[in-house]
Amino acid sequence: MKRTLLSAVAGFALVLGVSAGAHAKTLVYCSEGSPEGFNPGLYTAGTTFDASSRTIFNRLVEFKLGTTEIRPGLAESWDVSDDGLTYTFHLRHGVKFHNKPDFTPSRDFNADDVVFSFERQLKADHPYHGVSSGTYEYFEGMGMPDLLKSIEKVDDYTVRFTLDAPEAPFLADLAMDFASIFSKEQADQYMAAGTPEMLDQNPSGTGPFVLVDYQKDAVIRYNANAEYWEGKAKIDKLVFAITPDASVRYAKLVAGECQIMPYPNPADVKGMQANPALTVQEQQGLNVGYLAFNTEKKPFDNKLVRQALNYAINKQAILDAVFQGAGEAAKNPIPPTMWSYNDAVQDYAYDPEKAKQLLAEAGYPDGFDTDIWAMPVQRPYNPNAQRMAELIQADWAAVGVNAEIVSFEWAEYLDRSKKGEHQTVLLGWTGDNGDPDNFLNQLLGCDAAESGGNRARWCDPAFDDLIIQAKRTSDQAARTDLYEKAQVVFKEEAPWVTVAHSVVFMPMRKEVTGYIMDPLGTHQFYSVDLE
Amino acid sequence: MLRFFLTKLAGLIPTFFGVTLLTFAMIRLIPGDPIEILAGERGITPERHAALMKQYGFDRPLLEQYVFYIGGVLEGDLGKSLVTKKPVLGEFLQLFPATIELAFCAIVFALVIGLPVGIFAGVNRGRPADHTVMALSLTGFSMPIFWWGLLLIILFSVNLGWTPVSGRLDFAYFIDPITNFMLIDTLLSDEQGAFLDALHHLVLPAIVLGTIPLAVIARMTRSSMLEVLSEDYIRTARAKGLSPLRVVGLHALRNALIPVVTVIGLQVGTLLAGAILTETIFSWPGIGKWLVDSISRRDYPSVQGGVLLVALVIMTVNLIVDLLYGLINPRIRHAR
C-alpha cells in the first residue's frame, strides 16, 4: 500500500514535469553495507547510523560537524545544576516531523517526543520497550539505565533529566545516535494500528532527509526535508547505493555511478589522488590501536619490563608495513582530534639497547618467554593484526624476549582477553562520543580492570583518581587539565604500547563540494552541494 | 511414473531432517555467540549477556531449542533474524528472486554457448578447433570469480562504459517490488526503458556467474558426444545416408544429453556457491551475501532458515532432474 502510494506520487511527479526531475540535484553515495534497520537505538553499527540517525533524525544536542564539540540541536539551550545531577533542556519551537505517505504530523516537536524516545529505552514496562525484540545496546553500554533517575516533562518545551551521579560526559552521550528523537505521535498511530514495529522501519524524524524507500541490500532513497529547521539541504535527493566491495565502489565512483564513497582500499588511494576527476579528503580516525600488557601477570607487573618492551618496538616499520600510509604513530591513548590530547607527552623512542638495559635492571638480562595475541579480524585501528604481531615478535626477539603469536576466533578472542588469559594482547577502540572519558575510563580505569574492558588489567590509583575527578567535573577547562595529567601518568607507567591511530580517507568526485569529514566516523550529507 | 516420483519424494524426507540438524548444530559449533559478536570491543556485562541469552531462548538445553525450532519449521515459521528483527522467511523471499534471476540468466548463458561449442568440439575431435575449445574451457573452469568479475567491470564498465558497474537497476527508475524478479517487475511497471536497464545490469554478473558452468557444460557435452558418436546405431544412421546434421542433431544429441542434464542439475549448487562472490562484486541483493553476513554475525535463525531453504531448492532441482531422466530415457523410468 505504502509503495503503491509512493509510486503513484512518483509517477505523478514524472507526468508533471520531467524537466523538474532532471534539475533535481541527486547525490549518490556508494555505501559500504546495509543498515540493520532504521531505529538507531536498536543497533550499534556505523552503517546503520549513517542511514538513520545522521539522515532522518536529530538529537537534543549535536556534534558540531567536523569536531567532537557539542552544539545545540533540538534543545536550544540547557542548564546544569551545581551538583551536576539535573540537566534542564529548553526545546526549540516550530520543528516539524517528516510528512510520510502514512503519517501526517498534527503538531510540532515537543517535550512528549523527548520523554517517549528515552523512556522507550529506559523502562522495561514501556509499551514500546519490547517492540522489534528491542535491545538497546548503546543505551545500556553507555550506562544509561544506572545513570538516569528520571526524565520529566516540565512543560511542552522544557524537559528535565535527573541523574543518579554527576557525569560530565552525559551531554556528549546525548549527542550520540541512540539518543535520536522519535515522533511520539507516529508511535501512537502505529501502536493503535497494531503495527508498532513499523516505527523502526519507516520512522518520521526531524532530520535533514526524509526516508522514502529501502530495498534490502540494494538501495536507500531519501528526499531533502524542505521544512528542515536549519534550512533545506542543498541537494534534493540522496541515494545510498549499497556496494559492499571497495574495488567496486571505486569503479562506480570513476564511472560516475556515485559521487562519493567511504572506506577505499588503502592500496587504491594513490591512484585516486592521481585521478583528476576525484578528490580525496583525509582525517585521523577517532581510534587507537594498542598492545596491552597483562599487568596482573609476571613479568608485566614490573614497570621497567613494560617500558623496555615499548623501547624495543620499531613503530615506524609497523606503520609502513601494516598501515601503508593510512596510519600515524600513537603516543597517547586518545587520538589527536580529541580535546585534552596531551601533545607534550614524549613517546618511547625505538631503542633496543635501552630496552636490554631496562630488562637487565628489572632482573631479566636473558629475556623471557611470553605471548602476543593477534586479532583474527580487520579493524579500523588495525588492518592486519597478524602482520603487526609478527613485526613485534621480531623486535622483541632482538632484545631476547621470545613471544609466541596466539589467535582465536573473534568472539572468543574478545571473551578470553576480557578474562585476562593473555600476557600481551593486540586490540583497539573507536570512540563513541568524542569524550576522553570514553577512552581513558572505559579502557584504563580501575572499574574496567575489574569488568575486563581494561585489557591491561591495570589499576593505578593516581591515574584513576584523575579520571574519576574529571568525570565528575563539568568545567571543561578543569577536565582538560586532569586528562592531560592522566596521560602523563599513563605514559610513565606504560600499561600499553600505543601503536597507531588510523587515517580515514573519503574519495569523492570533483563536483561534490562542502563535504565535511566527521571525526566520529559517521557520514553526513546535509552540508553537501553538487556543482 | 507416479510411483517413481513418490519414491524419489519419500527419499527427501530424511535429507530434510538431516539438513535441519546439521545447520542447527554447525552454526552453534562455531565459537562465539551472537551477543558477544554484537558487543565487539565494547564488551557486555555478564548479567546483560545472560539476560539477552534468556530473551532469545539460547539458555535452554540444545535439544529443547532444536525441538522448538523444528516445531516452528513444520508450521512454516523460521523465526526472526536477530539482526533486523524481521521474519527470516520474509527476508529470504525478498532476496531469493534476485539470486534465481541471476542464476537463471547465468545458466541460460552457459547453455546457449556451452552446448553448441561442446557439440562442435566433439564433432571436430582432435582438430585445432577442438583443442581451442578445450583450452578455453579449462581456463574458464579455473577462473577465480572475484578476479574475473573485477576484470570485466574495469574493461566494460569503467573503460568502455558499455555496462553499469553494479546493482540491479538504475536508481532513476522507481519500481514496485511485486514479484522481486526485476525483469518481471520492470515489465509490469509503466516506467519506460526500465526492463532494458534491468537486462543491461544482468549482462556482466550473468557472464561471470555462468563462466564455470559454461566450461563444465562444454566439456561434458563434448565427451558425451564423442562416446555416443562411436556407437553402432550412429554408424547405422550414417550408413543409411542420413545427413550429418540429422545424425548429430537428432540421433546423437538426445542420448548425449543425459549426462549433460545431470551436470546442469549439479551446477545449481555451483551457481549458488558462486552467487555469493558474484553478488558481492556486483552489489546484487541476493541470498548469497545475506547468508555470509548472517554467519559472521551468528544470526542463528537466518543461517538455519536460509540454508534450509537453499537445501530445499537444491533437493527440488535434483528431483526435477531425476524426473527429466525418466522423460529422456525410458530405461531409467522402468528400471525398478
Alpha-carbon distances, residue B254 vs A528, B226, B228, B325, B327 (angstroms): 63, 13, 10, 11, 11
- Predicted confidence at residue B332, as pLDDT, reads 65
Give the start-end residues of each E strand in A316-435.
327-329, 369-373, 402-406, 424-430
Helix (H) or strand (E) holding A454: none
What nine digits make up the cell of B146?
572475484
How far apart CA A527 and CA A513 sit, in angstroms, is 8
- Predicted confidence at residue A16, as pLDDT, reads 40
Q: For the segment A465-511, what is each residue's pLDDT rounded down to a tens digit?
A: 999 999 988 888 999 999 999 999 999 999 999 999 999 999 999 99
Q: For the segment B79-121, what is each residue's pLDDT rounded down to a tens digit?
A: 888 888 889 999 999 999 999 999 999 999 999 999 899 988 9
Nearest residue in chain B measured CA to CA from A450: B45
Identity of the amino acid at A143: G
Cβ contact, residue pair A252, B171, below 8 Å: no
Q: For the segment B26-46, what is each residue's pLDDT rounded down to a tens digit?
A: 888 877 778 877 777 777 778
How far apart CA A196 and CA A205 sit, in angstroms, is 16
For residues A99-106, give the mean pLDDT: 95
Alpha-carbon distances, residue A87 vs A147, A408, A432, B81, B243 (angstroms): 12, 44, 21, 38, 94
Cis preceding-peptide flag for A299 (omega within 30 of 0): yes
User: Among partner residues A243, A245, A418, which is closest to B43 by beta-carbon distance?
Assistant: A418
Residue B333 has pLDDT above 70, yes or no: no
Could you give the ipTM of this predicted complex? 0.83
Number of residues assigned to chain A = 531
Nearest residue in chain A measured CA to CA from B38: A44
Residue B49 has pLDDT above 70, yes or no: yes
Give the start-end residues of each E strand in A200-326.
209-215, 219-224, 237-241, 278-284, 287-293
Residues 6+ apart with CB under 8 A from B71: none
**A517 DSSP assignment:** -
How far apart CA B236 and CA B91 sit, in angstroms, is 57
Closest to A291 measured CA to CA, from A271, A272, A315: A315
**What is the average pLDDT value for chain B, to the nearest integer?**
86
How far apart CA B24 and CA B105 sit, in angstroms, is 32
Neighbour-count burial of B7, counting CB atoms closer than 10 A to its CB (0-12 exposed, 13-18 middle, 19+ buried): exposed
Spell out which residues of chain A touch residue B32, defining contact as CB-CB under 8 Å: 409-412, 415
Grouping H, G, I as helix, E, B as strand and the rest as coil, residue B181 is coil
Torsion of CA B278, B281, B283, B286, to 10 degrees: 20
- Predicted confidence at residue B129, as pLDDT, reads 87
Paired residues of A89 in beta bridges: A78, A159
Nearest residue in chain A measured CA to CA from B80: A133
Q: For the segment B244-278, what is each residue's pLDDT rounded down to a tens digit?
A: 888 887 788 878 888 888 888 788 878 888 888 89
How far apart CA B35 and CA B299 sit, in angstroms, is 9
Residue B335 has pLDDT above 70, yes or no: no
Closest to B122 measured CA to CA, from B277, B247, B299: B247
Cβ contact, residue pair A451, B153, below 8 Å: no
What nine digits make up the cell of A37?
534497520
Residues 6+ apart with CB under 8 A from A462: A489
- Counting residues of chain B whose pLDDT is more than 90, the rounded percentage is 27
Torsion of CA A486, A487, A488, A493, to 10 degrees: 90
Residue A10 has pLDDT above 50, yes or no: no
- Counting residues of chain B whose pLDDT is more than 70, the rounded percentage is 97
Distance from CA of B320 to the nearest CA of A (A): 31
Residue A314 has pLDDT above 80, yes or no: yes
Optimal mutation site among B84, B189, B278, B279, interface A, most CBs of chain A within 10 A: B84
The count of CB pairs under 8 A between chains A and B is 130
Whole-model pTM: value is 0.85
Q: How confident is the model at residue A415 (pLDDT cuts 50, 70, 90)?
A: confident
Are B203 and B163 a contacting pair, CB within 8 Å? yes
Cα separation of the two ends of chain A? 37
Helix (H) or strand (E) holding A443: helix A437-444
Cβ contact, residue pair B171, A427, below 8 Å: no
